[in-house]
Structure 1
Amino acid sequence: MTWMVLTLISASLLGLYDVTKKVSVRGNAVPIVLLLSVCVGALIWSALLLLQTALPAMDWPDWLRVDAIDRWGHLALAGKSVLVGVSWTLAFHALKALPLSIAAPIRSTSPLWTLFIAIAFLGERPTPLQWLGIAIVLGSFWALSIVGSQEGIRFRTDRAVWWMVAATILGAISSVYDKILLQEFGYSPATVQAWFSVYLVPVMVPLAVRWYREQNADIPRPTAPFEFRRSILLISPLLLAADMAYFTALSDPEALLSVVSPLRRASVIVTLIAGSRMSGEYNLWRKIACVLGILVGVILLMMFGS
C-alpha cells in the first residue's frame, strides 16, 4: 500500500529531523540555529510562491498549491507562527540540554495533551480504551523518568524537562489550531505550511538580535557562541519532506487516519536508535521499552476516539 510506505517514509524523516536538530544545537547558539533553519524553510516556500505567481496556468499538485488568502487569513497564520516559534524555541533549548533519548519520548506524548485540550475546551469525552491509553502513556512517562534519574535527570526539578513539556503542550495547542485553520477556515495544508514558514522568520529575529547584543556587550553574559554546521541547513528540508510525505499519504482515498497518525509517531524509535548510536547514550533498551509503552498508549488514544 503506497500510503503506508509514504507514512513510514514520513516517520523516518521526522526521526532524522530530530537527530539533525540535536546535532545542530549541541553546544551551539540556539537563537541563531533557529533563525537560520527557519530561513531555509521560508526560502523554499518563497521560491514556490514566486513560481506559482509567475506560472498561474501550471497544474500544481494539491500538496504544493498555495491558495490566495485575505489579510485576516495572514493574521491567523502569523498567529500560528508565533505559537510554533515559542514551542520550537523551548524545544531547541531543551534538546540542547537533554539526551535525545529523553527529549524525543517526551515530545511523542503530544497526542495526550491534544486529547486533554479537546476534553477541556471542545467538550470531547474519552472512550474507555482512550482512558486506558492515557494510563499507559502516563505510566510509561513515569517509567522514563525513573530511567532518566539514573543519568542524573530529575524530571520534577530539571528545567530542560519542563521546557520540553511546555513545548509539547504548545505543539498540541498548535495541532488543535491547525484543525481550525484547515477545517473551519478551509485553508489547504500547503497554504498553512507556506505562510507559516514565511512568518516564522520575523518571529525568530528578536531572539537572534538579543543573542548578538549579549555577545557584543561590554560585560558579556555566558551565552554560547555560534558555530555554523551543515546540519542546520537540513532541519527545515527534512521537516518539509516529512510533511509532504504525510499529506500525500492522507490524500490517498484508501488511507486510514487511524493508522497513519500512530504509525507516524514511530519516528521516535528512529530518533532513539540513531541518537543513541551517535552520542553513546545509556540505558537504550530500557528507554525503548518506555517509548514502546508510550506508542501503545498513543495508538489507543488515536484509534479508539468516540
Structure 2
Amino acid sequence: MSWLILAFASAVFLGFYDLAKKKSVQDNAVRPVLLLCSVFYALLMLPVLLTGHCEPLTLHDHLFLMVKSVIVGGSWLFTYSAIAHMPLSISTTIRALAPLFTIMIAVGFLGERPQVMQWIGIAVCVCSYIGLSLAGRKEMGHFFSNGWVVAMLLGTILAACSGIYDKLILQRMNFEPLTVQVWFSIYMCVVQFLTTMFTWYPTRKKTTPFQFRWSFLAVAALLIIADRCYFLAVSDSDALISIITVLRRSSVFISFLAGILIFKERKSKTKFFAMLGVVIGLCLISLGR
C-alpha cells in the first residue's frame, strides 16, 4: 500500500483519537489517564509479542526504543495536559504545527534545505498562528503568555523530534515497524508509571481527582491503528517524513469540527480562517518537495 495512503489513513484515526483523548482528560487527572491509556495500548499489543511476531533485538536496539518512548512520553505529558485545559479547536490546530518544526529540525540538524514553496508555506503558517492567537484571546486571555499554550507548543516540538527520530530508526537503521510499535508500547508504560508515581501520586489529594472512563480503551485502540499506519508509511524507503507529518496533521479537520459541533466551543471566523491558513501552509510545504 502506498505510504501516502497509509499517512492519510493514520490522519483519519488520529482525528478520532483526539476526540477520545479530549473526553478522557476533560476534568480528569492527566497523568493517571496517560498511564492507563498506555497500559491498554500495551495490553492490546501484547499478543503480537507473545506469538513471536517481533524480530529479535539487541540491548543496543532496546536503548533506541527506550529513547523514543521518553521523547513521546514527554510530548504526551505536555499535550494531554494542554488539551485538558484548552478548547479542542485551538489545541489541535496548534498541534498541526508539528510539520513546521520537523522541517526546522531537518534544516538545522539534517542539512535539508527547504525550497521557495516551503518557505512560503512556513510564512503562511506563521501568519495563521497570529490569527489564531487573536481568536484564542477571546477564550483564553493573552494567547502566547498562557501556560497551556506554551505546554502545547513544547509537546508539539517534541512530537516533531519524534518524527525525525522515527525516520532514523525505521529508514536508516531498518527497524521492523511492528517490532518498534510493540516495544514502544511496553517502554511507554514504564515511562508513564514512573511519571505518575513521582509527580502525581504524592499530591493526588490536592489536585484534580482521577476518574476511570471507558474512553481510555478507545484512545489506545485508535492510536494503535493510527501508529500502525504511520510506522508502515515511514518505513517505506521512498517516504518523506515532512510530507507524512503534513498528511497526518490533516487530522485537525476532524478535531476542529468536533470541537465546534460536539464540545460546543466558541465559533469564530478568525479561528476558522486561521485553521484553514495552517492547512494551506502545510500543503504548500508538502508541495515544495
Query: If the length of structure 2 is used for normalisation, what is the TM-score?
Result: 0.91
Structure-2 change in CA distance of 1:254 and 1:118 (3 Å): closer
Aligned equivalents of 2:8, 2:168: Cα separation in 1:
26
Show the counterpart of 1:58.
Answer: none
Show the counterpart of 2:105.
Answer: 117
List alignment gaps of at least 5 residues for structure 2.
none
Structure-2 change in CA distance of 1:125 and 1:165 (3 Å): same
When structure 1 is superposed on structure 2, of 88-97 and 65-74 the one drifting more is 65-74
Show the counterpart of 1:228.
Answer: 212
Q: Where is the helix percentage greater, Structure 1 or Structure 2?
A: 2
Deviations 1:229-253 (A, max 9, x none): 1111111210111233445677899
Show the counterpart of 2:41.
Answer: 41
Show the counterpart of 2:147.
Answer: 159
Aligned equivalents of 1:260, 1:290: Cα separation in 2:
22
Structure-2 change in CA distance of 1:250 and 1:88 (3 Å): closer
Structure 1 residue ranges (4+ consecutive) displaced by more than 3 angstroms after TM superposition: 1-9, 245-264
Show the counterpart of 2:277.
Answer: 293
Quick one: percent identity of the two aligned structures? 41
Confirm or deny: 8 A CA contact 2:171 2:234 kept in the other structure.
no
Aligned equivalents of 1:121, 1:247: Cα separation in 2:
22
Confirm or deny: 8 A CA contact 1:258 1:303 kept in the other structure.
no
Show the counterpart of 1:207.
Answer: 195
Aligned equivalents of 1:131, 1:276: Cα separation in 2:
31
Structure-2 change in CA distance of 1:107 and 1:241 (3 Å): same
- Aligned-pair CA distance for 1:225: 0.6
- Aligned-pair CA distance for 1:8: 4.5
Show the counterpart of 1:57.
Answer: none
Counterpart selection for 1:264 from 244, 248, 252: 248
Show the counterpart of 1:276.
Answer: 260
Matches within 5 A, 1:62-77: 65-77=53-65
When structure 1 is superposed on structure 2, of 3-12 and 137-146 the one drifting more is 3-12
Deviations 1:7-44 (A, max 9, x none): 55432211110111111101101111000000011112
Deviations 1:146-186 (A, max 9, x none): 11012233222100000000000011011111111112211
Give me the CA root mean square deviation: 2.4
Deviations 1:263-297 (A, max 9, x none): 43221000111122222111254323211211111
Confirm or deny: 8 A CA contact 1:88 1:167 kept in the other structure.
yes
Aligned equivalents of 1:105, 1:194: Cα separation in 2:
29
When structure 1 is superposed on structure 2, of 111-120 and 245-254 the one drifting more is 245-254
Opposite residue 193 of structure 1, the aligned amino acid is Q
Opposite residue 277 of structure 2, the aligned amino acid is G
Aligned equivalents of 2:134, 2:102: Cα separation in 1:
25
Confirm or deny: 8 A CA contact 2:98 2:245 kept in the other structure.
no
Count of residues in Structure 1 that have an aligned counterpart in Structure 2? 288
Show the counterpart of 1:83.
Answer: 71
When structure 1 is superposed on structure 2, of 23-32 and 292-301 the one drifting more is 292-301
Deviations 1:201-227 (A, max 9, x none): 110112322322223xxxx53x11111
Aligned equivalents of 1:110, 1:99: Cα separation in 2:
18
List alignment gaps of at least 5 residues for structure 1.
53-64
Aligned equivalents of 2:187, 2:287: Cα separation in 1:
34
Show the counterpart of 1:56.
Answer: none
Deviations 1:104-141 (A, max 9, x none): 00000101001111111122211111110110011111
Opposite residue 149 of structure 2, the aligned amino acid is V
Opposite residue 296 of structure 1, the aligned amino acid is I
Aligned equivalents of 2:37, 2:242: Cα separation in 1:
31
Show the counterpart of 1:240.
Answer: 224
Confirm or deny: 8 A CA contact 1:276 1:284 kept in the other structure.
no
Opposite residue 145 of structure 1, the aligned amino acid is S
Does 1:188 find its partner at 2:176? yes
Aligned equivalents of 1:81, 1:275: Cα separation in 2:
29
- Aligned-pair CA distance for 1:50: 0.3
Opposite residue 184 of structure 1, the aligned amino acid is R
Opposite residue 12 of structure 1, the aligned amino acid is V
When structure 1 is superposed on structure 2, of 127-136 and 293-302 the one drifting more is 293-302
Structure-2 change in CA distance of 1:175 and 1:256 (3 Å): closer
Opposite residue 114 of structure 1, the aligned amino acid is T
